Structure 1
């Protein structure tokens, strides 16, 4: 199982998004965990590698399992640790090695192109309290088949 950590950074009512070139979808910056790395260490390292800035006091707000299914069979599965932060140090790059960085107004985030389940994650990270636990079921081309979630 692949493990990934990302972070939604807000600052002055704006959200930093990364536009990935493969689908032009917007995502929260982040990436894969290295062997023996904690989710917190991963999100700090990956966020800086993708944006040029250091996030300050990221808070874990969601843990999700993403299951890719084809013809009723699981073909891959990964776990996503999603953090939230409101402060950072440094200057945000205009272009990341992973795509183009954009500051978007919070109210505009939900109209951006993204994976269907990411709308739920952004909704929780930007507007809800507590910890979200979820499972997203997708086809190989990221059509959402089902989702299950609960907040504690």
Structure 2
């Protein structure tokens, strides 16, 4: 199982997002953990490699599993993602990230940007809720969301008004 870390760097009104060239989807900067790294070491390293910025005091806010399901409901791939939130940083942002286009977006822009469907849930939780989100997302090989489980459940699933 592959382990991935990412981080949403957010100010009061913006967050830094990365647009991946392969699908044009927006993500939080991050990437694969290296052997022997802690999740915190990995998120700091990956964020710096992709943005040029050193995040300070990243806080773990979501632990999710992504399962890719093939023909006949067979599991094709699986990885675990550790998502963080940071609000302070040092350094100068790269003019061009090796992973795509870096843009400071409005804090709530994730709701309308193209991204993996599960990422909308993760961004919403990290930017608007407290505590750690736990979940599993099931996708087809072409990244169409089939099903998901979240704990805690999003507000709209509980029947509460947003």
Q: Normalising by structure 2, report the TM-score.
A: 0.91
- State the partner residue of 2:38: 38
Root mean square deviation of aligned Cα: 1.1
SS at structure 2 position matched to 1:123: helix
For residues 92 and 12 of structure 1, what CA distance do their matches in structure 2 show?
A: 18
For residues 107 and 143 of structure 1, what CA distance do their matches in structure 2 show?
A: 23
- State the partner residue of 1:101: 102
Q: Where do residues 60-139 of structure 1 align in structure 2 (5 Å cutoff)?
A: 60-71=60-71, 72-139=73-140
Structure 1 stretch 43-52 or stretch 33-42: which is displaced more?
33-42
* 1:25-74 CA distance string (max 9 Å, x none): 00000000001111100000000000000001000011000000012000
* 1:77-127 CA distance string (max 9 Å, x none): 000000000010011123200000000001222111100100000000100
Judging by fraction of residues, say which structure has more strand: 1
Unaligned runs of 5+ in 1: none
**Which structure is larger by alpha-carbon Rg, 1 or 2?**
2
List 4+ stretches of structure 1 deviating above 4 A: none
Unaligned runs of 5+ in 2: 154-162
How many residues matched?
152
For the 8 Å contact 2:20–2:101, the answer to whether it is kept is: yes
Q: Normalising by structure 1, report the TM-score.
A: 0.97
- State the partner residue of 1:149: 150
- State the partner residue of 2:11: 11
- State the partner residue of 1:56: 56
For residues 73 and 5 of structure 1, what CA distance do their matches in structure 2 show?
A: 25
Q: CA deviation at 1:12?
A: 4.1
